Structure 1
Amino acid sequence: MDEKRTVRVSRFLSMVLRHRPEAVGIVLDEAGWVDVDELIAACATRGRRFSRAELDHVVATNNKKRFAYSPDGRRIRASQGHSVEVRLGLAAAVPPDVLFHGTAAASVGAIMREGLKPMSRQDVHLSADAETAVRVGARHGRPVVLAVDAAALAAAGHEFRVSANGVWLTDAVPPERLRRISG
């Protein structure tokens, strides 16, 4: 599978498994899972054909580990980033003292006034390291990295969870727990 096709299939799967399962006529269960064979068949009927081997390749090589198979390999879901209602069943976790959020420079003013909000997603996404946050922010323009005082938030009762691909999730981050560190 060439890189161009891998990216196309990955982007399409992100759209379907995170935002619009109805676009191919599937229904995710409450935890975001769908049967792999059902997904492949539904996509094929909508003109988006890929094989199980190609799906395996996308799951295995996605640098952000956006997708995960169930332990038996018969179901698949997006690891996080859903705009559709799902309960990933992630246990609460104690975060590192500092987490990071990458954003575009154009968004920093509003974020510093209002804090981080999930926007169209279910959770605020945070990175364990600044380098990852730079890459995330660069997707939207000139990147800015914000440090999040996760220790203070956890002490104040904010719940944190970590997804299968290492993204830290929380409900919101108030502006007083943010500090601009680059960009």
Structure 2
Amino acid sequence: MTPQQQKELSKHLSLVLRHRPEKYHLQLDSEGFVLLANLIAGMRTLGKWSRVTEEQVREVVRDSDKQRYEIVGEKIRARYGHSVAEAVSYEPIAPPEILYHGTARRVVDAIRAEGLRPMNRQYVHLSSEIEQARIVGARHDARPVILTVRAGEAHAQGVRFYNPEPRLYLADLVTPEFIDFGD
């Protein structure tokens, strides 16, 4: 597969595994997994992906720099970013002391009042790297605000954190008292 084909297949996997499993009549299990064979069979019902192979899907999972997907046994799932109703669960972990969240300037007042909430996703997304938070925030604002989350303190007070991939941390909710707004 060419890099462009890999990118297109990765985007399609994201659509199906994160947001629209019903597109192929798939039902995510309690951990967000579906049978890889069922996913491929569903994809083959559409013209563009009618010749997709298991090896091509495995190649995208293996070569993804962001490690968005994982295959365990005969099942596949998106690691994060779900907007489907079924909750995808992870084992809670102790986070680093500090994490970051990039966001649009227009929502900072709402975050001051309510904290960081999952919004249309299942979890709040946080980064261990300032630059990664800036990249994420820039999707919504050319000059994003980078919030500092005192994750170690939040965890000590009962906030659950998860780590589905090396630079990404997830939380159910981060209340304002654990967020530094830089002002």
Greater CA deviation, 96-105 or 43-52? 43-52
SS in 2 for 1:96: coil
Using a 3 Å threshold, how does the CA distance of structure 1 residues 61 and 106 change in structure 2: closer, same or farther? farther
**Partners in 2 of 1:155 and 1:106 — Cα distance?**
30
Q: Residues 82 and 88 of structure 2 are in contact (CA less than 8 Å); yes or no, is this contact kept in structure 1?
A: no
Q: Which residue is 2:129 aligned to?
A: 129
Q: Which residue is 1:151 aligned to?
A: 152
Q: Residues 24 and 46 of structure 1 are in contact (CA less than 8 Å); yes or no, is this contact kept in structure 2?
A: no
How far does residue 140 in structure 1 lie from its aligned partner after superposition?
2.2
- Structure 1 length normalisation: TM-score? 0.88
Q: Which residue is 2:18 aligned to?
A: 18
How far does residue 92 in structure 1 lie from its aligned partner after superposition?
1.7
How far does residue 176 in structure 1 lie from its aligned partner after superposition?
2.4
Equivalent residue pairs, number: 180
The CA RMSD over aligned residues, in Å, is 1.9
The residue type equivalent to 1:180 in the other structure is F
Q: Residues 137 and 145 of structure 1 are in contact (CA less than 8 Å); yes or no, is this contact kept in structure 2?
A: yes
* 4+ residue segments displaced more than 3 Å: 85-89
Give the alignment partner of residue 70 of structure 2, picking from 55, 68, 80. Answer: 68
The residue type equivalent to 1:177 in the other structure is F
Q: Which residue is 2:161 aligned to?
A: 160
Q: Residues 99 and 126 of structure 1 are in contact (CA less than 8 Å); yes or no, is this contact kept in structure 2?
A: yes
SS in 1 for 2:93: coil
SS in 1 for 2:84: coil
Q: Which residue is 1:47 aligned to?
A: 47
Unaligned runs of 5+ in 1: none
